[in-house]
A and B are shown apart, each in its own frame.
Chain A
Amino acid sequence: MGHLIEFQQVYKIYQMGDTQVHALDGVNFAIDKGEFVAIVGQSGSGKSTAMNIIGCLDVPTSGRYFLGGVDVSTMDDDQQAVIRNKMLGFIFQQYNLIPKLNVLENVELPLLYGGVPQRERRERALSALDRVGLADKYKNRPNQLSGGQQQRVSIARALAGNPSVILADEPTGALDSHTSREVLSFLKKLNREGDTVVLITHDNSIAVRARRIIRLQDGQIIYDGDASDPQAVVQPRMDDDEDDDLCGEVGD
């Protein structure tokens, strides 16, 4: 049995006018089933690009990316959509719920696109809402819920499809510290229950809640190891000139 996620010499190169920007510059790592990994880095470090590629929202310029043993680095739009639907659960900083759908309909969406029949869809969505403790709010609109509750709905949506990887992109970025702690403990709980969680953040204090940290800088891995190792949280040196947000951040 191979790794769940495996990057082999992954490059992502953007052409900005005359200069080439290496958002990912030959990245290699592997994540196994049941891990809780934080990918950390300043803006411009390449972590958002890494997250886009892990999430099958983008493909590498070169190199290979295996998800569940399958090479997904050369897939087209629709093939990636199927992988996203079956294997990935996204949690975004801005929750990204659809405002005109109610909570249940939002959670049902990945199942809808996965072709799950209506009755089963409803059952699975309700049980996912139950896991995040919001089963009683299923008829509400997202804007009738607090930020923390909306983020829990989006977690329920990520769980509903029963994915192999939960991919959380700055999941606490829009929350106060108390709610942030709640959400993080919830992610830990999911991990204890067997889910693989990949957390993308710029914040060390959040990253240390994971069990393993992969730190990126200028498109390269500068640390990959245990989160409890003091080395994991050493702030890298800053190069102001090259630190523009060239690759963008999903959810910002």
Chain B
Amino acid sequence: MGVKQSFFLALKSLATSKVRALLTMLGIIIGVAAVIIIISLGDGMQKLMSDSFEELGANLIQVSVQSSGSSREVSMDDMYDLVEKNPKYLSAVSPYITVSSASARTPGDTFTPYSVVGVSEAYDEIRALTVEQGRFLQYVDVLRSQKVCVVGSYISKEYYNGSALGKTLGLSGYNYTIVGVLSESAESRKGSADDLVIIPYTNAQQLNSALGSSGSPSSTMMSGGILTGVGMDTYMFSGTSKDTASTSRGVIENFLDKVYGDDQKYMVITSAEMLDMMNTMMDTMMVVLVAIAGISLLVGGIGIMNIMLVSVSERTREIGIRKSLGAKRRDIRGQFIIEAGTTSAIGGVIGIVLGIALAKVAGTLIDGLMNSGSTQFTAVVSIQSVALAFGVSVGVGILFGYLPANKAAKLNPIDALRYE
């Protein structure tokens, strides 16, 4: 008997008892949907993380060193020297000075930008920023502490109707000329990476000392993916490539270790390594979660086995008739296995559709809750996860259909024919 016939016969017998079929499939539906949701959200999380790191710059190396409360210090010049001496591993460096509680004033408005940072002219290269209008900071701006700034697209759009170039922006009483507008990176949302003012780091140092401290954050915190804190100086290096990230880190650590002789006083983080680490963590977590979801697939499989055993009993006479007409064991076995496989495959398809729908809804909800601004969270439904879920559901059906099918195949035709 052909597979096609068995398949249509299976569909027919499912159609004749819809409620039973649905209940039988329920375990598979729930299991498959759970697997799809977990994988989609996990992939979405991974994409979000790699997007965030991508935004930071894939070759970014963040260095934080203790600046106060230590007799030894490193200066900006030491960092420049380090880059010059290691052209194979490091390509640029910029300080990263957060100006806290900076209020900004436009000719008609006062507001607080999400972040105001002081950096060097190399920062655009390090962070892979692109300037849409005007230019980025230049060496001379930094050297002479010129009152110039580059703003993110959100500020340009929100406060200058998109034509911020050449206008002035007041920062803590000083007027800064806007010399550049960055291109949009996060849909120009408030509180995103587009809600940003960049000034020369020399100016930032002055602003911070004018404000009386190096910043108000009470402890180490992540701000836009950048680690900052009280009494910490932060530097951004750019490594030459992702592959040499760990060597680049080594070069910087060696230098800092010579200066401080204490690895508690500095911290070096590379984007590439951190991303790897987080991916590994996510992968492990997902394996665990999928395994848990897999339990419901197992339960679903047992449900199928149960109903197939009932079905074999109910159809004993039919099996006898088929055998008397020349059906071999494998014909009968095939018929029941295909029936079990079809049941679970249909359950799998329903579960996949349900899973994708729920994953999308959950993705939207999570994105709303996180309101992270800079990057968006979406559930990523991959072909692989769908194929895996479908394959596993069919496999479960066949696996758990085998026992009942084999029972049917081994029935003695005389007994089966006599069965009432």
Which A residues fall within an 8 A CB radius of B?
Answer: 52, 55, 57-58, 77-78, 81-82, 84-86, 90, 92, 96-98, 100, 109-110, 112-114, 157, 161, 248-252
Contact = CB atoms under 8 A, between A and B. Distances in A.
A251 B417 contact: yes
Interface in B4-20: 5, 12-13, 16
A58 B329 CA distance: 15
A81 B330 CA distance: 11
Contact of A100 (B12, B413, B414): B12
Contact of B325 (A52, A78, A84, A248): A84
A84 B418 contact: no
B247 interface: no
Interface of B: 1-2, 5, 12-13, 16, 317-318, 320-331, 413-414, 417-418
Q: Which 7 A-B pairs have the closest CB atoms?
A: A85-B326, A113-B326, A110-B325, A81-B328, A78-B328, A96-B321, A84-B326
B324 A55 contact: yes
B334 to A, nearest CB: 11
B418 A81 contact: no
Nearest to B321: A96
Contacts of A82: 326, 328
| Most chain A Cβ neighbours within 10 Å, of B320, B321, B324 | B324
Given A77-B329, A81-B327, A96-B317, A109 B417 contact: no
27 contacts: A55-B324, A57-B324, A57-B413, A58-B414, A77-B329, A78-B329, A78-B330, A82-B326, A82-B328, A84-B323, A84-B324, A84-B325, A84-B326, A85-B326, A90-B324, A96-B320, A96-B417, A97-B321, A98-B318, A100-B16, A112-B1, A112-B2, A113-B326, A113-B328, A248-B414, A250-B418, A251-B418
A50 to B, nearest CB: 13
B325 to A, nearest CB: 4
B222 to A, nearest CB: 65
B323 A112 contact: no
Contacts of A110: 325-326
Contacts of B413: 57
A109 B321 CA distance: 10
Contacts of B417: 57, 92, 96, 250-251
Contacts of B329: 77-78, 81
Nearest to B4: A118
A157 B325 CA distance: 9
A74 B272 CA distance: 72
Given A96-B317, A100-B12, A112-B1, A252 B418 contact: yes
A157 B322 CA distance: 12
A98 B9 CA distance: 12
A82 B413 CA distance: 14
B322 A109 contact: yes
A78 B330 CA distance: 9
Nearest to B320: A96
A97 B321 CA distance: 8
Contact of B323 (A81, A100, A249, A251): A81
Contacts of B320: 96
A101 to B, nearest CB: 8
A248 B418 contact: yes
| Most chain A Cβ neighbours within 10 Å, of B2, B12, B16, B321 | B321
Contacts of A78: 328-330
A82 B2 CA distance: 16
Contacts of A250: 414, 417-418
A90 B326 contact: no
B5 A112 contact: yes
Contacts of A97: 321
A85 B5 CA distance: 18
Contacts of A112: 1-2, 5
Contacts of A90: 324-325
A215 to B, nearest CB: 23
Contacts of A114: 326
A107 to B, nearest CB: 10
B186 to A, nearest CB: 60
Contacts of B16: 100
Contacts of A55: 324
B327 A113 contact: yes
B420 to A, nearest CB: 9
Contacts of A157: 325
Nearest to A114: B326
Contacts of B321: 96-98, 109
Contacts of B5: 112
B1 A113 contact: yes
Given A77-B328, A112-B5, A113-B325, 4 more contacts: A96-B417, A100-B12, A110-B326, A251-B418
A57 B324 CA distance: 7
A248 B327 CA distance: 23
A86 B414 CA distance: 19
Nearest to A252: B418
Contacts of B328: 77-78, 81-82, 113
A109 B325 contact: yes
| Most chain B Cβ neighbours within 10 Å, of A82, A84, A251 | A84
